[in-house]
Structure 1
Amino acid sequence: MSNERRVLVHPDKEALAGSVAARFITKIIDVLDDLGEANVCLTGGTMGSAVLAAINSSPARDSVDWSRITFWWGDERYLPLGDPDRNDTQSRAALLDHLQLDAAQIKSFPAPGDQPDIEQAARYFEQVLADAAIDGARYPRFDVTFLGVGPDGHIASLFPDHPAVRETERVVVAETASPKPPAERLSLTLPVINSSDRVWLVLAGADKASALGLALAGANVNDVPAAGAEGRKRTVFFVDKEAAAEVPENLIAPSYYWTSADDNSER
């Protein structure tokens, strides 16, 4: 299995969300046909929710057998369940609550009060991941992992120059000093994220242009965590024109620019 890295540029945020939604539906149907079940790792944020909302509104939504998909998240704000700032709350509103899912299909990170403290919450969720794995693995096989990218280049809750971005032994880390609120978060570590068959980074807006350029240029992962995102089979940066505006032309091949005829390029 060889990794293939692509950058696909879309004219605006709406086109970006719609294209990613269409590609996801097509890809996850293929995965279910091949493997019988799937694990999908979601992200929060504006574009993460926009993609899920586009999946929900797609005429092809019900062609997916959602009963065979388990949903996870790459990270979570350590806030009470149902808090509007939690990633799982946003994902539920955008898509998951519109599907007929069993509660066991939604693997949310713990909330305050579920465990004695955030560090024990991280340990607990490591066991949840291990329980869903096979053959003694520490976490399940992820088929698609969605990631947002912050203006500082962070992915999940792995921030520049924070110990969590360098963590290689733990599966879940407790971030207690996030540079953006809330300070406390839970996050999968980079090796776990990179165990996914496909890592799809979705970013839009001019404020993401610098982070995108640095990630594609091979910046140090400690400085730009997005530079370290790499799926086992494929890594795709789905971006809009504003996010791509400052990326040198040699980093985005013209053939990678998205057109309506290009929908087969990540299937």
Structure 2
Amino acid sequence: MGKQPNLYAFNDVSSLARTLRTYVIQCQNAGFERHGLFKVAVSGGSLPSTLAKALLEPGEGGSDAPLDFAKWEIFFADERAVPLDHPDSNYKLLKDELLEKIPRPMGRPNVHPIDVKFLDDVQEMADQYQDALMQSFAAKDSVKLPIFDLLLLGCGPDGHTCSLFPNHELLRESDAWVAPVEDSPKPPAKRITLSLPVVTHGTKIAFVATGAGKKDIMKQIFDTEEGRSLPCGLVNEGGAEKVSWFTDNGAVEGVGFPRRGSL
């Protein structure tokens, strides 16, 4: 059997958040060593609130020195074709939960929202967002895929992640870094998303999944053959040991896949 993802389960979200904080700081410091920056892709859903709990509450000993947001470059793993102040906007969610609450001494990250000029043309919006990635990671003709230091992802009840949905043709996209979605089964229908090869090419990939409502899909992803073809399962397969899942006990109740004890 090849190398496998890491599954961590915690008694509560507070314990999860403390370990997630340690993990993110490790990824940040590795990014700083590689290129002086920390390049992150973030999803929406419940992730931003858990991320805020992890990053904004003081670490062990009350020190926040390890986090240097001024050297963070934040992209969105997926985004909905809505204005930036719309309730469905992942940018608004991250802004409300995390960005506006970062204490000024910790610095301000460089955040890349979508260009709202292209709300009516998601292909153009995807192209523009891909251009933003190229400016950060190097031109597409000089690197095959961008390498994020960390992708922070969620897991939907159907096993989707980013805006990559089960059985969708986009799961076979192999060329584009950012792809348009015209027919999302979950509203709003129009979105853009990182492609699966970009996600699995990341240096580190972290999923956050909490609550008993996730246990059925988690069991499917980790314990069944069919689950391996779900988007989250494909990330597990493509990312292997680069992938870490941060869950609470409720989300993995009945899951047979072995847990890891610590980072």
| TM-score scaled by length of structure 2 | 0.85
How much has 1:108 moved relative to structure 2?
Answer: 1.6
Cα pair 2:42 2:153 within 8 Å, conserved = yes
What's the offset of the Cα at 1:56? Answer: 1.6
Higher deviation after alignment, 157-166 or 47-56:
47-56
What is the alpha-carbon root mean square deviation over aligned residues? Answer: 2.4
Distance 1:153 1:61 in 2: 34
Where 1:151 maps in the other structure, the secondary structure is: coil
Written as runs of structure 1 = structure 2, the 5 A alignment for 1:60-139 is 60-97=63-100, 98=102, 100-101=107-108, 105-111=110-116, 113-114=117-118, 117-134=121-138, 136-137=142-143, 139=145
Change (3 A) 1:163 1:65: same
Q: Aligned equivalents of 1:137 and 1:180: distance in 2? A: 33
Aligned to 1:209: 215
1:238 maps onto 2:226 in alignment: no
Q: From the superposition, tell whether residues 221 and 76 of structure 1 become closer, same or farther in structure 2 (CA, over 3 Å).
A: farther
Which deviates more from structure 2 when the two are superposed, residues 75-84 or residues 144-153?
75-84
My pick for the range that moved more, 77-86 or 214-223, is 214-223
Q: Distance in 2 between matches of 1:187 and 1:238?
A: 22
Which amino acid in 2 is paired with 1:80? P
Output the CA distance in 1 between the equivalents of 2:169 and 2:34: 38
In structure 2, the CA distance between the partners of 1:62 and 1:109, relative to structure 1 (3 Å rule), is farther
Kindly indicate whether the alpha-carbon contact (under 8 Å) linking 1:21 and 1:52 is maintained by their aligned counterparts in 2: no
Unaligned runs of at least 5 residues, structure 1: none
One-letter amino acid of the counterpart of residue 131, structure 1: Q
Provide the C-alpha distance between the structure 2 equivalents of 1:139 and 1:107, rounded to a whole number of angstroms: 18
Q: Structure 1 residues 31 and 3 mapped into 2: Cα distance closer, same or farther (>3 Å)?
A: farther
User: Matched residues in 2 for 1:3 and 1:106: separation?
Assistant: 33
Judge conservation of contact 1:130–1:137 (CA < 8 Å) in 2. Answer: no
Identity of aligned residues (%): 25
What CA distance in whole angstroms lies between the structure 1 residues aligned with 2:98 and 2:64? 10
Structure 1 residue aligned with 2:166, among 155, 160, 170? 160
After TM superposition, the score normalised by the length of structure 1 is: 0.84
